Amino acid sequence: MNFELTEEQALLQQTVRRFAEEEVAPGAIERDESKIWPEDIVRQLGEMGLMGMMVPDKWGGAGMDTVAYTIAMEEICRADASVGVIMSVNNSLVCSLLHTFGTDDQKDKYLTPLARGEQLGAFSLSEPQAGSDASNLLCRAERDGDGYRVSGTKNWVSNGQHSDVVLLFALTDPEKKHKGISCFIVEKGWSGFSVGKPEDKLGIRASDTTELYLDEVKVPVENRIGGEGDGFRIALATLDGGRIGIAAQALGIAQAALDHALAYAQEREQFGHQIVDFQAIQFKLADMATEVEAARLLVRRAAFVKDRGDSASSAAAMAKVFASEAAMKAATQCVQIHGGYGYMRETGVERLMRDAKITQIYEGTSEIQRVVIARELQRKG
């Protein structure tokens, strides 16, 4: 067993780390404060091949694997988790879904510009009454001649406002429950499609999250991905990969919390000593470092399982539940170590605490991840 990065992976890490430190980190506090969407950074991510990392170059991607993707995600999120979620949705929910389940025509038309970063994608499954109970959809796609008419309300759509294309799940046959859900590629400019106002969120405030409203939107049949009724299976299989991306996002936040906490503990003096000399602080740092390392191993393992072509459901759920909880704990301890300064916005570490929280919620809550893990245990046992 080899825990070292390959030369190629180490070079990717170095390149993305430098970009994150020089271009992403500097404006992170201001973007969070004023909810500024990082347009210029997203454009640069596209130019660097980071928006379609796992897509073969034939379809405009960088042709890398999931392990490489987690390395890049960690580095970007160490600087700004808002930028990370924009990148994660486009890579592991949108491009991966199109690459795995799309036809060649769909890949030519939609995947190529998305993977090149020339366009941005969103993934829209949730509805006001369908969060964890994701198959409880009301959004309806009724067959109409050579296409469908889609009507309904979707919510909590990351990239909802800035995306060009949305992969959207709707009921083609309400009688069949989850087996009546289908997946569609919907262009934002189509008649009857409108976007709600951006949500005012606790964290990842520089990314946008919106409702989407569909009023009899005409979607051609060639924009259906997979067969009628395949949608829920496509959504859950895609979320297995998405959860690896969010686990890597959480890992980046946890690492950032450790970096800031250590630096501050070495600089801050109280009672005539650097506070890092006190065992109370040392134990906190030791626990943070241990959990960050364990999270990294779980994230890399989930990515490795996926790259090997095996089902990554359980490995992804374990990585996400552990890394997101490690991120929340590390960010909280980071604020604690900073004391009163940590509570002030200008120090920037309270942002880590607010950003960490969403990693325990989106793409399946920690409770849902435990359901996935327990079901797999029961299936195997």
CB closer to ligand CAA out of 255 and 369: 369
CB closer to ligand CAA out of 74 and 230: 230
CA-CA distance, 273 to 281, in Å (whole number)? 12
Shortest Å, Cβ 311 to ligand CAA = 7
Shortest Å, Cβ 73 to ligand CAA = 13
Active site residue 127: no
Shortest Å, Cβ 295 to ligand CAA = 19
From the centroid of its chain, how far is CA 196?
Answer: 21
By CB neighbour count within 10 A (0-12 exposed, 13-18 middle, 19+ buried), where does 258 fall? buried
Residue 77: which residues within 8 A CB-CB, separation 6 or more? 83, 84, 248, 249, 250, 251, 252, 253, 256
Residue 87: which residues within 8 A CB-CB, separation 6 or more? 42, 45, 50, 51, 72, 73, 76
Spatial CA neighbour of 318 closest among 307, 330, 306, 308: 306
Can you state the angle between helices 349-359 and 231-267, rounded to 10 degrees? 160
CA-CA distance, 28 to 352, in Å (whole number)? 11
Spatial CA neighbour of 42 closest among 141, 164, 142: 164
Tell me which of 8, 363, 367, 376 is the catalytic residue.
363
**Token pair 């995600």 is at which residue?**
73
Q: Which residues of 332-349 are buried (b: 16+ CB within 10 A; e: fewer)?
A: bbbbbbbeeebeeeebbb
Q: Which residues bind ligand CAA (CB under 6 A)?
A: 89, 123, 125-126, 132, 134-135, 157-158, 178, 232-233, 236-237, 239-240, 313, 362-364, 368, 371-372
Shortest Å, Cβ 179 to ligand CAA = 6
Shortest Å, Cβ 159 to ligand CAA = 7
**Please, how many CA atoms are within 13 Å of residue 162, restricted to the half-sphere of its CB?**
24
CB closer to ligand CAA out of 125 and 258: 125
CA-CA distance, 166 to 282, in Å (whole number)? 47
CB closer to ligand CAA out of 87 and 111: 87
Sign of CA dihedral 237, 81, 7, 323: negative
CB closer to ligand CAA out of 117 and 364: 364
Shortest Å, Cβ 60 to ligand CAA = 22
CB closer to ligand CAA out of 263 and 371: 371
**CA distance readout (Å), 36 to 178, 198, 375:** 37, 11, 41
CB closer to ligand CAA out of 238 and 333: 238
Shortest Å, Cβ 195 to ligand CAA = 14
Q: Give the catalytic positions in this structure.
A: 363
